[in-house]
Structure 1
Amino acid sequence: MDQQPEFTPRIGTFLILVGIGLLLVFVGSYLASTPHFGYLFSSLVVLVLGFLLRRRTKPRPSSGRFRAIRGIYDKSKEGREQKKKKK
């Protein structure tokens, strides 16, 4: 069960790719003058399911790569705010 939060977005990504593939098959059938609307409707359903699965996941925690730069920026921002208060 520990892998489920990681597994769900991967399923969503797979479904999005399958939906795009089905949409391309529909476009190909439409260009061949024999449109198969089943591909269109199934691609829309699969795309919606894929996006729903991708959206349910929690956002990744920040990596903290630029925490030193953010600290400098925050200090300079505080200094500017104090100068505005003095005026």
Structure 2
Amino acid sequence: MSGPLSPAGVSGTDVEHVCSAKGCRRTAAHAVIWNNPKLHTADRRKVWLACDEHEKSLADFVALRGFLIEVVPVEQLTDADG
């Protein structure tokens, strides 16, 4: 199992996760994990980060298309996500 996600070259430092919603700059608390099987291999896990306000709308957007895998707290992201 992979450990917590940390950006390349960043180790042991606080990293701010910014919401992926258009125009939002809030700190993300959630990770919307999805995969478009027409574009990505089955093991690929794409991630959109979401603040509390945008978690539902981002998750609903990918769920409507059948792409949603799961929504987890950003602290649970691993090296396999991204």
| TM-score class normalised by the smaller sequence | under 0.3
Query: Which of the two has greater strand per residue?
Result: 2
TM-score (norm 2): 0.24
1 or 2 for the larger relative contact order (CA 8 Å, sep ≥6)? 2
Query: Which of the two has greater helix per residue?
Result: 1
TM-score (norm 1): 0.23
